[in-house]
Chain A
Amino acid sequence: MIVELGHLALVIALGFSVLLTLFGLAGGASGHQRVMAATPSFVAAQFVFVALAYATLTYAFVNDDFSVAYVAANSNSLLPWYYKFSAVWGAHEGSFLLWTLIMSGWTLAVAVKGRDLPDTFLARVLGVMGLLSFGFLSFMLWTSNPFDRLVPMTPAEGSDLNPLLQDFGLVVHPPMLYTGYVGFSVAFSFAIAALLSGRLDTAWARWSRPWTNIAWAFLTLGITLGSWWAYYELGWGGWWFWDPVENASFMPWLAGTALVHCLAVTEKRGAFKSWTLLLAITTFSLSLLGAFIVRSGVLTSVHAFAVDPTRGIFILVFLFVVVGGSLLLYAARASVIRSSISYQFLSREAFLLLNNILLIIAMALVLLGTLYPLAYEAVTGGDKISVGVPYFNAGFVPLMLVLAAALGIAPALNWKRTSAVQAYRQLRWVLAASVVLGIAVPLLATGAVRWEIALTLVLAFWIVGSHLLDLGGRLRKGVTRIPLAYVGMSLAHFGFAAALLGVALTSQLSIEKDLRMGPGDTVVLGTMEFEFNGAAEVSGPNYVAQRGTFSVRDGTNRFALQPEKRSYFASSSVMTEAAIDAGLLRDVYISLGESLGDGDWAVRIQIKPFVRWIWLGGLLMALGGSLAIADARYRRLRKRMIAQNLIAAG
């Protein structure tokens, strides 16, 4: 009975999304106060009913209601209670319900926080967001209802949550990722509302900037958590696979990063106005494309949730309507934009343009590599191919290196024009110091220099050095208050340098060895000695495991690592639970392969230097992005807008 209420709540929420769309768009177009005034209550009602549906599904999970097909497929009475909460988003239907909940949450946030926006603009934004919610809710109700029952053939027991997902990483990764994905719908809706109203000055950019930053920060956090989770939970120490589903989240991230930078130029200088609009549309379209890739199962992926053509077709049509519609609108309206801003090559504008070009090329590269197999299959009539990892690395790495080199120059640049002599004077010592350090540090630490490592170190020192120099210059000039937005920007750029370093050092210096080990066998890797002490059986709440014990000796430092091979009862699936000794300078990573008989095991031992820096970098970037929105500038802006509205109403 409760479950039917959840289904009913979704239907009601769908009704409110229709009302929201109609009232929002019609009110925005006509300017009728009473029509527009109704929209916030529809937003609230839509949120309440989606939240109710979500609570109902959670209730079904917690109470082991296996008459619900989705619960039966993704839970089990032995599943620990905390995973019953996160199992709600463990598979397709429920994760889409979470997605829709987050969508209506963002809509609610815009309705509350955006009260100071001009009425017609806000009404249009909410109308567009309502239309998106309508699309998501229809998708759920027509193709992926999480409340479908298995009556009368109710199973006595559920087939359990995929063991890979029974982990803290899954508790946090999807909500963060979806909050980021869906958050770009705000920038998208602002752009569409601006296009609809024809008011294409820089105001919309100023309003949408904090929303875009926070969505970007969430997406950054989501991707970082996903990479970390894959690293420790998939059991083999990989942190990025260029898998189609990873690419699906990475493409909106790249476009979103470009958007965050481009909005700065539009807000401060009024340049790149039409490009920013197009980027806002592109970023959210890539989020939808990501949803299509993940949910349709059209691409070979270790993540593929479901292979169901009707879902794929629905999302493809939705994608077509959203992207096609907004691009048509863009084509019809954006041509009136004129900007008469001039700037020279050595200026902040030109470098932000360079940033955008590099990021968009990187995005296009990933897009091509991700969709090429689909196109190939369609053209050749069924031949299947996959694009190898070296393709992505070959294109992506040089682009990021150029980006890093340019980023080091950025703090020395002014808007409009910069004297080359002055920039050179400001940066020459940083440049010299980073080259010296970049070569000296690996030489002193390891006694050898590899050019790949030296190059990345130079670039990382270059970015950090030039940013610190700029900060020092500001402090010396007697600037007492450094704006939070500036701190956020610097942190995010430090994060980029840290991630760059982590990626390069891990890829270049990791030691990895697959071998067969019996009790008492020892092996030396790098400076460490590993001894295998055999494996024994241990049992967990819903699994039984073989637990191996390794003694590791690194100079005087000794520690033990205990990787496991788990066999889960309900799904009879086997899982590798790696043992990791984590550190800022290196991780030691041991995983058990299969038992080879006579107490012998297939074992993979890895030493991964600086791997944590990848996620540290991601965290810094996310922190930087969220600090920027807490800047006092936005509070002042808000007060000013309230004052203006009062005068206008006056």
Chain B
Amino acid sequence: MRPKRRNRLIIIVFLFAGAGISVALVLVALNENLNVFYPPDQVVGGGAPVDTQIRAGGMVLDGSVARRADGLDVAFVLTDYQGAEFTVYYRGILPDLFREGQGILVQGQLGSDGVFQASQVLAKHDENYMPPELAGMSPDKRTARNLLNYDR
């Protein structure tokens, strides 16, 4: 084979091997790590799969946050302010911007008893930021105030 052809062959073999391996790796990894988001009405209405890693979100219901007297166990209720509510259990430290009435995301598994076991709780990054997943929910008073932003 002439050197030029051989070079081309080397390049092509390289590209195919690389592409093949990476496509395989990527597909496996992507499939295992997709977290589908479910709003409260789907979590409550059975639209969300049980015992599968998912994301859910909603507004923290006022007065629903309860801590155990020892340890870091906490429970709270997420709502869409339209009738759908579900309880979340979490062990750990809540983010700084976790507050009653705020929109938050939880990642974890929904149990068959309807209680969500969260492995991660994510809150808004700043006052003006709304997780896009929650943007469709009707804004409560606090969010409206955040939009105005100047009346404090």
Interface residues of A (CB under 8 A from B): 72-73, 150, 153, 155, 159, 162, 164, 235, 297-300, 302-304, 307, 340, 342-345, 350, 353-354, 357-358, 361, 364-365, 368-369, 372, 383-391, 394-395, 398-399, 514-516, 570-576, 593-594, 596, 602, 604
B3, B7, B93: the one within 8 Å of A602 (CB): B93
Q: Is the CB of A594 within 8 A of B7?
A: no
B26 within 8 A of A: yes
**Shortest Cβ distance from residue B69 to the other chain A in the assembled complex, whole angstroms:** 9
CA gap between A455 and B135 in the complex, in Å? 45
B46 within 8 A of A: no
* Chain B residues, CB < 8 A from A576: 96
Q: Is the CB of A304 within 8 A of B67?
A: no
* Chain B residues, CB < 8 A from A358: 18
Q: Is the CB of B125 within 8 A of A361?
A: no
Q: Is the CB of B36 within 8 A of A383?
A: yes
Q: Is the CB of B72 within 8 A of A516?
A: yes
The proximity string for B residues 28-53 relative to A, scoring 1 for CB distances below 8 Å and 0 otherwise, is 11101111110000000000000001
Also in contact, A385 and B135, with CB within 8 A (given A72-B150, A361-B18): no
CA gap between A192 and B13 in the complex, in Å? 31
* Chain A residues, CB < 8 A from B22: 361, 364-365, 395, 399
30 residue pairs bridging A and B, Cβ less than 8 Å apart: A150-B150, A159-B152, A235-B96, A302-B125, A304-B125, A307-B132, A307-B135, A342-B4, A353-B14, A358-B18, A361-B19, A361-B22, A365-B22, A365-B26, A383-B36, A387-B33, A387-B35, A388-B34, A388-B53, A390-B29, A390-B32, A390-B33, A394-B29, A395-B29, A515-B72, A516-B70, A573-B126, A593-B72, A593-B93, A602-B94
**Shortest Cβ distance from residue B18 to the other chain A in the assembled complex, whole angstroms:** 5
Closest to A66 in B: B150
The proximity string for B residues 115-152 relative to A, scoring 1 for CB distances below 8 Å and 0 otherwise, is 00000001001110111110100000000000001101
Give the A-B pair count, Cβ closer than 8 A.
Answer: 125
* Chain A residues, CB < 8 A from B34: 385-388
Interface residues of B (CB under 8 A from A): 3-4, 7, 10-11, 14-15, 18-19, 22, 25-26, 28-30, 32-37, 53, 55, 67, 70-72, 91-94, 96-97, 122, 125-127, 129-133, 135, 149-150, 152
Also in contact, A342 and B125, with CB within 8 A (given A361-B18, A372-B30, A390-B33): no
Q: Is the CB of B30 within 8 A of A350?
A: no
The SS class assigned to the A binding surface is mixed
Q: Is the CB of B35 within 8 A of A388?
A: yes
10 new A-B contacts, CB < 8 A, other than A307-B130, A604-B93, are: A164-B125, A364-B22, A383-B36, A384-B133, A385-B36, A386-B55, A388-B35, A391-B29, A391-B32, A602-B93
**Shortest Cβ distance from residue A292 to the other chain B in the assembled complex, whole angstroms:** 15
* Chain A residues, CB < 8 A from B94: 593-594, 602
**Shortest Cβ distance from residue A517 to the other chain B in the assembled complex, whole angstroms:** 10
CA gap between A325 and B125 in the complex, in Å? 37
Also in contact, A384 and B125, with CB within 8 A (given A395-B29, A575-B96): no
Q: Is the CB of B25 within 8 A of A398?
A: yes
CA gap between A398 and B94 in the complex, in Å? 33
* Chain B residues, CB < 8 A from A514: 72, 91-93
* Chain A residues, CB < 8 A from B28: 394
Also in contact, A345 and B4, with CB within 8 A (given A159-B149, A307-B132, A372-B30): no
Q: Is the CB of B150 within 8 A of A155?
A: yes
CA gap between A369 and B32 in the complex, in Å? 12
Q: Is the CB of A368 within 8 A of B4?
A: no
Closest to B94 in A: A594
CA gap between A369 and B33 in the complex, in Å? 10
Q: Is the CB of A602 within 8 A of B72?
A: yes
Q: Is the CB of B70 within 8 A of A395?
A: no
Also in contact, A571 and B127, with CB within 8 A (given A386-B55, A596-B67): yes
* Chain A residues, CB < 8 A from B133: 300, 384
B7, B14, B129: the one within 8 Å of A343 (CB): B7
Q: Is the CB of B149 within 8 A of A73?
A: yes
Also in contact, A357 and B14, with CB within 8 A (given A72-B150, A574-B96, A574-B97): yes
Closest to B92 in A: A514
CA gap between A159 and B126 in the complex, in Å? 12
* Chain A residues, CB < 8 A from B152: 159, 570, 572
* Chain A residues, CB < 8 A from B131: 300
* Chain A residues, CB < 8 A from B18: 357-358, 361
* Chain A residues, CB < 8 A from B53: 388
CA gap between A235 and B152 in the complex, in Å? 27
CA gap between A379 and B30 in the complex, in Å? 17
CA gap between A202 and B122 in the complex, in Å? 51
CA gap between A304 and B135 in the complex, in Å? 13
CA gap between A594 and B92 in the complex, in Å? 10
Q: Is the CB of A357 within 8 A of B127?
A: no
CA gap between A155 and B67 in the complex, in Å? 40
